[in-house]
Structure 1
Amino acid sequence: MNISILVFGGDHFLATLPDRLRDASTFSVEAIANVNQAVSRIQIKPPDVIVVQASLDGSMELCRWLKEQTKLSWIYCILVEDTPELLAFKSQFGREWELEMTCAALRQGADAYIWQQPKQKTDNPPAEETANEQLLLAHLSVGLRKAQKYRDLVRTNDLLTAISLADSLTELKNRRALDGDLPRHIQKARSSETPLSLIILDVDYFKKVNDSYGHLVGDRLLQLLSHRLRHNLRFGDTPFRYGGEEFVIVLTNTTCDEALLVARRLNRVVSEQPFAINNKLAINVTISVGTACLQPEDDTKGTSLLERADQFLLQAKAAGRNRVIGCSRNMFRKASHLQAVS
C-alpha cells in the first residue's frame, strides 16, 4: 500500500527528513506550510500520516484539531521538535525535562513526539540514517499499520451495512433501506423541484401458493418476481422488498400519470407469462398495485406518501385484484377545485 504523508512544514524542514521518505513506490509526500490550507487538504483528502514541524506557527493547534475530529482521529500525527531554543534546553536540562515535554505534546494531540536536530544537506554522499531518523521511520510504520487497520474496518463496516440493507432472499434493498433512502429522495425532489412517485405492489393470493406448493416454492416465486421487476424498471427506479410478498418501487423524476403507466406495464409484465419454478412447475400469478406521487403537504420521511399508495393498493385488492389504482394529475386538480369552492 502506498502511504500518503502530509508534511506540515517549510521546504527546509522537508529537506531534513529521511531520504527514504522520497521513495515514491512507498510514500506519497506533500508539504504545506499554511495551517488553513493544511486543514482544507486534510478534510478533502485525508492522509495516512501527518508529520508536523513543531516550530511552525499553528503546529500544536493542528494536532489538537485533528484529534477533535472523530472521522479523522485515526490519522497518525508525528510532531517533530526542531525549535532551536527547545533543542538547546534539551541538552541543558536533561532527560527528565525532555520526558515532561514529550508527555505534554502527547496529551495535547500528537501520536508521537520526536526531538530532532535538523540534518544539514551537503553534496557529500548521504550518511547512515541517524537514530532520530530511524525513530521517525519506525513511527511511519506504526502509522501505516494504523491506516491499514482503519481501511480494513471501513471495508468491514461497509460490507455489514450493505448486508443489513439488503433482503437476503430477493437481493433487493429491504424496508430498512427504504426508511433511509426515501427521505433523501424526497429532499432531493423538493430541492430540485422535480416530481417523485412510488409504487406499492402485492402478489395476489400468495398464501395459496405457499399452502399448495410449500414455502420453498413460494420463496422461489418471490425471487423470480423480483428478477422480473428489476429487469423491467427504468434507470433510476429503485425496488425494495417491503415485507412478505409486498414490494415498493421509488420512481424518481416521475409524475402521477407516469407512475400509473409504469405500474400498468409492471402489472402486465407479471401476468402475461407464468413463472417457471422448475422443469415441471410453472405458476401464474398477478399483482395488485397502488401508486402515489409526492405532494407539498407530505412529510419529509415519506410516511404520508407511503400511506396514500397503500390505500390505493387496498382499493385495488378490494376491487378484485390484478389491477392498478393510484392518484393522477386530474385527481389533484379536482381536489384543488373542490377546496377552492368550499
Structure 2
Amino acid sequence: MPARVLIVDDDPTALAALEMRLSEEYFEVSTAGDGEQGLEQMKADPPDIVLLDVVMPGINGYEVCERMRSDPELLHVPIVMLSVKSEPEDVVQGLKAGADDYLEKLFDDLVVLARIRSLVRSKLMMDEFRRREQTSNQLGVLDSEEDLIDSDVLGRRILVIDDDAETVGRIPMALASSYQVTSERDPDRAMAVARDGEFDLIVVSLTMDGSDGLRLCSHLRTMEETRQTAILVITEPDSSEMLVRALEIGVSDYLKVPVNTDEMMARVRTQIKRKMYQDRLRANYETSLALAVTDSLTSLHNRRYMVSHLETLMERGRESGRPVALLIMDIDHFKNVNDNYGHAVGDEVLQEFAERIKRNVRGIDLAVRYGGEEFVVVLPGTDPEVAKMVAERLRQNVAEEPFEVSADVGTITVTVSIGVTVYDGTEVSTDGLLRRADEALYTAKNQGRNQVVTV
C-alpha cells in the first residue's frame, strides 16, 4: 500500500504542485487548506506523514505541530514543516514544536521525497511494534503502554566521527553540556568504538577528506551493535545527491554546514528521544516473546498470540482499507519423519523450518507455530499477488535445500503445502479467515502436496 501523505497549506498553487509531484511518486495524497481543517482530517484518519506549512490563517504550523504532539493518536505521525521562513531561529522553533524536519518551500524535491520515505519507513516499523505491544497488553503480558514523551535525555551517549580537528573540537564541546560525548577522527577506530560503546546517537561527517562517510554509515547500519542506533550526518549545503543517498541508507537525520548549535541540539534531542522510545518498544516486544506467547521449540509466536494480533490487524484493516494476508502451511508427511527417525529429529526439522520462515519474511510479518507441524505467517498490508509470491518463495526454499539432521542419514528432503488468503475489509471473523486459509491448504494437499493454493 502507498504511504498516505497529508499536505496542510493555505496556498492553493503550492498545494496543487506538491500534490501532483507526490502523486507521481505513487503516494496517496490528501490536502487541507488550514491548520484546523488539517487537524480534523488527521483525527478522522491519521496519515503516515504530514507536510505542514508554517504561515497560515488561524492557527499557524507551529501550533498545529504542538497540538499533534500532545494528542496520543497523532503523537507518532512524522511532520515535515515547509516554509518560506528559513532563518535558523525559524528552523529551531519548528523542531522544538515537534517537527521531524524543516525545509524551505524552494526545496530540492529529491531530498524531500527521500526524507518522506525515510520517515515513513521508520513510522511503519514502529507502528508494527506498537500494535504488538497493544496485543501483549490485551493478553496481560505487559503493563500498560507508557510513551516516553517527557523522557530525560541528559547524559545519553553520543559518538562524533569527523577527521576535521576544528569540528571535532567544536561540536563535542557544544554537546558535552548535556551528553556524554566521545570523539573519533579515525574511521576504523570509530567503528570499533561504536561497536563497543552502546551509543544512543552517532554523528558522522560526510565532509571528511580521507574517508567515505556514506560507506561508514552503511557499515554502521549493517553491524548488529549499531543497527538500531540513531545516525545524524553533517553535510555541505549543496550536496543534495549525497544527502538523498544517506537517507536511503538509513540515516536518521542531518545537519548542513555551517552547523547552527541550537538546531543541532534540537535535532539531537529529537533523535535520542526517538531512540529511547524505540528501545522501549523493542524491549517490551522481546519481553512479550519470553512470556507465554512464544513456542518454546521454535521461538516463533504461538497460536494464542497470533489470534489476538490478527484480530487487531483485521480491525485496523477495516478502518484503513489495507489488506492483511494469511499463509497457513503444513509440512508434508511429517508423521513419517517422526516414525522413521524419531521425535528428536522431528524437532530438528521443525526448528529448521521455523528458521527458513523467518529468513523469508519481513520484520513486520508475524511468523507462528500454529500447532504440531502447522505454521502460519500474517503479512500486514500485503495483497494476494505478493502473498502468493512470498508463499511460493518459501515453498521453493524448503523443497530445494534438504534439511540437515543428526540422524545417520545426514539430510532429509522436506516439502510443504501452503494455503493463502487475504483479508480485504469484508465482514469475516478471525476464525472465518483462518478457515478460508485452511481450505486452501486442504486443496493443496489433495492436489498432490508441495504446492501453493490461493483462495
Give me the TM-score of the superposition, normalised by structure 1. 0.48
Is the radius of gyration larger for structure 1 or structure 2? 1
